[in-house]
Amino acid sequence: MSLFTIDSGFRYDIVRKIFEGGMGIVYEAEQHGARQFIKRVAIKVVRQNYANQPEFIENFIGEAKLVADLIHTNIVQTYHLGEVKAMYFIAMELIRGVNLEQFTQQLHDRNRVLPRELAVFITSRVARGLAYAHAKTDKDGKTLGIVHRDVSLKNIMIAFEGDVKLTDFGIAKAKGFITDNEGEVVAGKADYMSPEQADFKITDKRSDIFSTGVVLAHLLLGRNIFKADSPEESRQRILHLAIPDFRQLDSRIDDPLNDILQKCLARDLNVRYASADELMTALEYYIYHAGYGPTNETLGKFSRELFGQHVPATEASARGGTQIVEHTARSIKV
C-alpha cells in the first residue's frame, strides 16, 4: 500500500488524428509533465455515441487493464487509463509507422512484392507477441486465457525502425477483464476469423493461430483468399473454402512454407499448431536454419524505402490511416 500520493498534474495536447474506427478514435498527443517534460503518445478515445453504453465502457476499461500488464516488444504498450468529464481514454505507445493494411496497400500501389522472408519474419513477430499474451498469468499464477480474436492487418503495426507490434485487444477474451458473449455473437473481422469464431463456437488460443495463418497467406499472395463481397460471404468462405496448395498460387512458396500454412489453416484443431510458440519456432526455423536471416533492421530499411520514411497525408486519408491535422489548443487535462 502506498504511504503517500504525488499529485503532479499533467495534460495531453492533441496533435493529429491517426485513425478513426467504428467505436473509437486514435490521436497522436503530447503528454506534458513537470519541468517541460514532453512525451509523444497515442490516445485512444471512445466515440461519443458509445460513451453512454455501460457494457462497452466496461469492456474499454477492461481492455486497458488487461493490456497494461502485457509488456512485450511485439505488443503495443499501454501507459494510462484516464477519464475526463465522463470521457474515457487510453494513452498508449506511439508507433512511428503504419499498420499492415496500409503497408500492403502501398506495396500494391507501387507494384512491389514483399520478399518471402520478410512476410515470414513479420508473422513470426506476431506469433511471438501472441505466445506471450497466451501464456500471461494473473498475480496468483493462474493463466488468464487470453485470446486476441482480432488478429488482422489493421491490428498489426510496422514501425519504420522495423519493429512489429500487435495492437487492439478490444475484443480479446480474458478471464475477469472483458464481458464475453462468445457463442451468442460473432466477434472479429469476417475474413480473418477462425472457423470456430465464424461458427459461433467457443475459442481458445488456437483461434489466433488460424488468423495469423491468414495474415501470412495474405502477405505472401498479396490478397486474402477468404475475402468476399460481404462479411457473411467471407464467413462462409472461412467455414467451407477448400484450403489451396499454396505452391500452386505462388512459385516462391516451397514445401516447408506450404506445410506451415496448411497447419495454421487446418480446420481440425488437432491438426492446427497447438500454440503460438510452436508456430513461432516453425517460422523462425524456416528463415534462420540456413544461417543469417531477416532482422528488424532489414524490415525497417524496406519499410522506410517503401514509404519514403513518411506517409503522405493525401494517401493516408484515403485509406483511413494517418492524416496530418493542424496543431490545435485541444487538451486533455488529468
Catalytic center residues: 150
Residues of 285-307 as b/e, b for ≥16 C-beta within 10 angstroms? ebbeeeeebbeeebbbebbeebb
| C-alpha–C-alpha distance, residues 326 and 186, integer Å | 38
Cα 164 from Cα 174, distance rounded (Å): 23
Q: State whether the Cα torsion 209-211-213-219 is positive or negative.
A: negative
In our burial notation (b when 16+ CB lie closer than 10 A, e otherwise), range 117-149 reads bbbbbbbbbbbbbbbbbbebeeeeeeebebbbb
Q: Grid cell 460513451 — which residue?
A: 51
Rounded to whole angstroms, the Cα distance separating 100 from 210 reads: 17
In terms of residues, how long is the chain? 334
Cβ proximity of 172 and 148 under 8 Å: yes
**Strand, coil or helix: what is 98?**
strand
324 three-state secondary structure: coil
d(CA 61, CA 178): 8
CA proximity to 153, closest of 222, 215, 107: 215
